[in-house]
Chain A
Amino acid sequence: MSEGARQAPRSLGDPLPEAGRVRSMVDFYLTTMRTAIASQFQYRSANYLYMIGMVAEPVIYLVVWSTIARSQGGSVDGLTPGDFAAYYIVWTLVRNMNIVFTPYGWEWRIREGQLSGQLLRPIHPLHYDLAEFAGWKFVVIVLWLPIAAILTIAFHPTLHPTGLEIGVFAVAIWGAYLIRSMNLWLLGMVSFWTTRVSALFQVYFVAELLLSGRLVPLQLMPGWVRVLANFLPFKWTFGFPIEALVGSMTPGQLFGGLGMQVVWTTAGVLLIAVVWPRAVRRYSAVGN
């Protein structure tokens, strides 16, 4: 990592190597994020089309469940149409926070030799993806605000968050981002061993859809599904951040949820630390 320190000019001459390393890392993240913000903002119309296409999915769920709630005398399992509106509008932001480097992209990285250049750099490639997509998130959040405003006018959400809930939500969406980044990195790395990955990815995405709270709030699921969801990472990237804001969780549950996010992020980092060196050994691209 001494090369890393040499590459970042601001840490030159720093008397403490460890502090210098941290500072150069922070510097690296800030610079990469700033670059990502600048470049993604250039593609704002493409970004917008993409985001509008994504709105169809929650609107469908919202309309269907609101219809059911009304036909059942105003609520389903305690959720009113207003609650569903709040859930699925917050959903749109959480969904955007959940977008990270796609596992399908690994095939391209390997086949095209994109990794060769990245491997020569002194910083772990994970940091590039994390910083790049984190920067993009700021653009996404800004672009999301008008979409949220329109959806709010159209569907009348019931939302009364406390200060604590807003605070936990603001942290939890980034926790969600980290967990999903780790998970999809791990999933994508399967591409180092086999090229027939699409079936595996799809099974993963269906499991995620059903068990994360993306399809329906988990409280509408049967009891055994809810229990299962507690032991899997999906819920902590999707249902938990949403419900932190729209639900009525106790402070204990809120901080417990953040704790689970820390656990799953750590587990992901550790697994990547174990798998990555083995994966790279199988990499044999040329060129670039």
Chain B
Amino acid sequence: MAGPVEPLRGLRLAWVFFRVGAMNELQYRINFVIEVFQSLLALGTGLVVLALVFGHTQQLNGWTQPQLLAVLGVQIMVGGIIQTFIQPNMMRLMEEVRQGTLDYALTKPEDAQVLVSVREVRIWQSADILTGLIVLIVAILRLQHGVGVWEALAFAGAVLLGVVMVYCFWLILTTGVFWVVRMDQIAELFEGVYQTGRWPVGVYPPWLRFGLTFLVPIAFAVTVPAEAITARLNLPTLLLAVGFAILLFALTRWFWKFGLRHYSGASA
């Protein structure tokens, strides 16, 4: 394990892995068509649900139809980012701990956490990122007041913070594999819970809202960016997001190192 994390070095490493991963996946271009098809099917379902909801009401908990369309767009987009960059790495980490092949990553002269977080990229999953962006743009065009520079900046910042928090959440869960070894269902569990992001977190009862904010940071990953783009975000919420992201990141770093000490490797 190398010394302190140098951000630039980590980014360069991520870029190298991204290029290798992209070249690898470019061999299977038909997969992109399949992903686009899946993405459109999911989008169609989401739009049907929105149509059903607004066939029965004018607004949901204070959110209008274009605003909820923006939530849908953000949810699909952030989901795409998770599926492209975060989840594949975590699945690989789980598998390698189980098989004992994580040794190969740990013996490399790089920070182990950086390394296990950037190795896998599923570029075709980015079909969802595209779909989400398009939905978001359509939603913005239908918003009455439009989007200013500050809203756009707050949105970009909120998405970044949200993605960092989801990454931390995933890595903390995955680190659990050092003790539990088998966690096959985790991905399905997360994808199930992630669907809650399709709606602003305010519609859920208080106990669930708390869980979806601080236990599984879906509110920060989807609702807060959507609030930013629809000019509903207030400064305290944004500051809370910044503070919680820093806290969670530090906790994740500590927990990862703690978990690593429990890794005994396998006589591979």
Contacts and interface: CB of A to CB of B under 8 A. Distances in A.
Contacts of A71: 57, 59-61
B41 interface: yes
B188 interface: yes
Nearest to A52: B189
B203 A67 contact: yes
A63 B60 CA distance: 11
A249 interface: no
Contacts of B193: 53, 56
B195 A49 contact: no
Nearest to A209: B45
A1 interface: no
SS of A interface (majority): helix
Interface in A68-83: 68, 71-72, 76-77
Interface stretch (B46-54, B87-95, B96-104, B250-258): B46-54
A273 interface: no
A63 B41 CA distance: 24
Contacts of A222: 55
A215 B188 CA distance: 19
A227 interface: no
A178 B48 CA distance: 29
A53 B189 contact: yes
A54 B192 contact: yes
A56 B45 contact: no
B198 interface: yes
A14 interface: no
Interface in B19-51: 34, 37-38, 41, 44-45, 48-49
Interface in A166-219: 198-199, 202-203, 206, 209-210, 215-216
A210 B51 CA distance: 13
B3 interface: no
A220 interface: yes
Interface in A89-128: none
A64 B60 contact: yes
A57 B45 CA distance: 14
Contacts of A142: none
Contact of B195 (A57, A68, A209): A57
Contacts of A221: 52
B196 interface: yes
B204 A63 contact: yes
Contact of B56 (A55, A59, A77, A209): A77
Contacts of B56: 68, 72, 76-77, 220
B145 to A, nearest CB: 23
26 contacts: A46-B184, A46-B185, A49-B189, A53-B188, A54-B192, A57-B195, A60-B195, A60-B196, A63-B203, A63-B208, A64-B199, A68-B53, A68-B60, A71-B59, A71-B60, A71-B61, A77-B56, A199-B34, A199-B37, A202-B41, A203-B41, A215-B49, A220-B52, A220-B56, A221-B52, A222-B55
Given A60-B199, A63-B205, 12 more contacts: A56-B192, A63-B199, A63-B208, A67-B61, A68-B60, A72-B56, A77-B56, A154-B205, A202-B38, A206-B41, A206-B45, A210-B48
Interface of A: 46, 49-50, 52-57, 59-60, 63-64, 67-68, 71-72, 76-77, 154, 198-199, 202-203, 206, 209-210, 215-216, 220-222
Q: A-B pairs with the 7 shortest C-beta distances? A: A53-B189, A53-B192, A56-B192, A49-B185, A68-B57, A67-B203, A56-B193
